[in-house]
Amino acid sequence: MTTAKAPVPIFIPALLIMASATSILSTDLYTPSLPHLQGVFGTDAARVQLTLTLNLVAYALAQLFYGPLSDRIGRRPVLLAGMIGFAVSTALCAVAGSIDALILARVLQGLTACAEAVVGYAVIRELYDEAGAVRVLAAYGMAIALAPAIGPVIGGHMHVWFGWRSNFILLTGIIMIATLLIWRFLPETLAVPDRGALRPRRLLRGYYTLLSDGPFMSYTLTMSLVLGGLFAVIAAFPFLFIERMGVATDQYGYYYAAIVVAFFFGSLAVSRAAGRMSSDGLLRIGLLLGILGEAGFVLLVAMAWENPVNITLTQCFFAFGLGLIFATAPVRAFDVCRAGHGYAAAMLGALPMAGGALGTFCVALTHDGSAWPIAIILMAATVIPAAVYFAVRPWRVGTASA
């Protein structure tokens, strides 16, 4: 049984949401430009998609360090340092003169932008009880859903009006504003720094404990693999919609926005149901909706009925289910984990981004211009996590801190 915690000022989650929104914008603001970067740099689709894949790999790996670092020196300095580095690396993306330079800048961007994910999860879970954390993460999901919803819309118009570099210039300005506000208003929330958090032996032991923790890994892998499906959509759909189906660059963002709005409503449903329905019950519904959506996508491709509208409808089922999973799986993972919250936050940030990198890598590996590769990838991204979840049955485990 969890203990009720003191009320938390609303500006704390608001500032974390702001940091998250800027990080998410770095992923999809420029996606309408992806098909055009082939001509700009004289390269192919697979190499352009590496700007997504390697960004996510860097994003994932760096979090394994940021988590213990935030335990050692505090949440606030880690977040601020990450945001400053994020601004610098984004500016480097804007001035990249080759595809290799852009890839390198995107790797640096991933290494710095991920600090907010670790800090955000740790702060939220430490300040709220389970029901409160589910509600905050649902609101967190709804708010940060606005960023990927409007990102490609803005990015498509920015590309048409000012060129692809303008997206990174705009993002640099937004990051600088967010950093200044966080510096001014976000307090330190870590009560007692852990002076031994960065010792190598302890790091290895902490992560080994999590990796060998079946219930924790079940929740984390469930979220990671499904999120890998979302990043596969981000990587594949610009090519599928713009190149193959003839959608205008400045119109593509509206289709993706519809998918993200569905995620928004999934998060809203969790917020309303938290406290009345178990977290695991909501998670199972999310998995079912994801499978139904991707089964519909496979059927469309098999019957040659695919077009931008009906493909988007199938992904709305998937995204609504993802909203349920995103708000519940991290909370349950924290509840059952047998290691510190810094380690858990780092793993909960790293593995989903690794799942995202896997999704985009699969897209780059199988890209042939048709809808079949992405349909198969998305079907796997819903069926496999469901199989993992029901095989381990982590709901049988109580709250570790109870």
Give Cα 378 distance to the centre of its chain. Answer: 16
Give Cα 139 distance to the centre of its chain. Answer: 15
Number of domains making up the chain: 1
121 pLDDT above the threshold of 80: no
CATH number, domain containing residue 255: 1.20.1250.20
Alpha-carbon distance 193 to 197, whole Å?
9
Question: Residue 63 domain-assigned?
Answer: yes
Task: Using DSSP, state whether 22 is helix, strand or coil.
Answer: helix
The residues facing 54 across adjacent strands are none
Token readout for 33 is 């430009």
111 pLDDT above the threshold of 80: yes
**Residue 269: what pLDDT?**
87
- Answer for the pair 140, 20: CB distance below 8 angstroms, yes or no: yes
Alpha-carbon distance 126 to 251, whole Å?
41
Distances (CA, A) of 33 to 96, 257, 347: 14, 16, 31
Task: Using DSSP, state whether 9 is helix, strand or coil.
Answer: coil
90 pLDDT above the threshold of 90: yes
Question: Residue 175 domain-assigned?
Answer: yes
Alpha-carbon distance 368 to 44, whole Å?
12
Rg for the chain, CA atoms, rounded: 20
Question: Greater confidence, 145 or 106?
Answer: 106
- Answer for the pair 252, 241: CB distance below 8 angstroms, yes or no: yes
129 pLDDT above the threshold of 80: no
Residue 291: CB atoms within 10 Å? 19
CA-based torsion, 300, 305, 306, 310: positive or negative? negative
**Residue 1: what pLDDT?**
44
- Answer for the pair 46, 364: CB distance below 8 angstroms, yes or no: yes
3-state helix, strand, coil in the chain (%, to 5): 80, 0, 15
Question: Residue 373 domain-assigned?
Answer: yes
Alpha helix stretches (DSSP H) within 337-371: 341-366
Could you tell me which of 298, 277, 276 has the C-alpha nearest to residue 377?
298
Contacts of 115 (CB under 8 A, 6+ apart): 62, 66, 78, 79, 81, 82, 83, 86
**In the predicted model, what is the mean pLDDT of residues 389-396?**
88
Which domain does 101 fall in, by range?
Answer: 12-186+212-393
Token readout for 270 is 């969790």
**Residue 145: what pLDDT?**
62
Alpha-carbon distance 282 to 270, whole Å?
7
Torsion angle in degrees (nearest 10) through CA of 302, 252, 115, 356: 10
Per-residue pLDDT tens over the stretch 321-371 = 999 998 889 888 878 877 666 677 778 878 888 888 899 889 988 888 789
Question: Residue 177 domain-assigned?
Answer: yes
401 pLDDT above the threshold of 50: no
**Residue 167: what pLDDT?**
94
Could you tell me which of 337, 329, 346 has the C-alpha nearest to residue 120?
346
**Residue 341: what pLDDT?**
65
Token readout for 153 is 């819309």
Token readout for 9 is 């000022």
The residues facing 274 across adjacent strands are 277
Give percent above pLDDT 70 in the chain: 92
Alpha-carbon distance 7 to 90, whole Å?
36
Question: Residue 198 domain-assigned?
Answer: no
- Three-point CA angle 66, 70, 74, nearest 5°: 150
The helix (run of H) or strand (run of E) holding residue 233 is: helix 214-238
Per-residue pLDDT tens over the stretch 33-54 = 989 999 999 998 889 989 988 9
Task: Please tell me what DSSP assigns to residue 339.
Answer: S
Residue 169: CB atoms within 10 Å? 16
Which amino acid is present at 348?
L
Per-residue pLDDT tens over the stretch 151-183 = 888 999 999 999 999 999 999 999 999 899 888
Could you tell me which of 240, 209, 275 has the C-alpha nearest to residue 377?
240
Question: Residue 104 domain-assigned?
Answer: yes
Per-residue pLDDT tens over the stretch 278-312 = 889 999 999 999 999 999 999 999 999 999 999 99
Per-residue pLDDT tens over the stretch 205-257 = 878 888 888 889 999 999 999 989 998 998 899 989 998 899 998 899 899 88
Residue 183: CB atoms within 10 Å? 13
Q: Which of 6-20, 137-151, 263-277 has the lowest mean pLDDT?
A: 137-151
Residue 288: CB atoms within 10 Å? 15
Residue 204: CB atoms within 10 Å? 10
Question: Residue 193 domain-assigned?
Answer: no
Question: Residue 232 domain-assigned?
Answer: yes
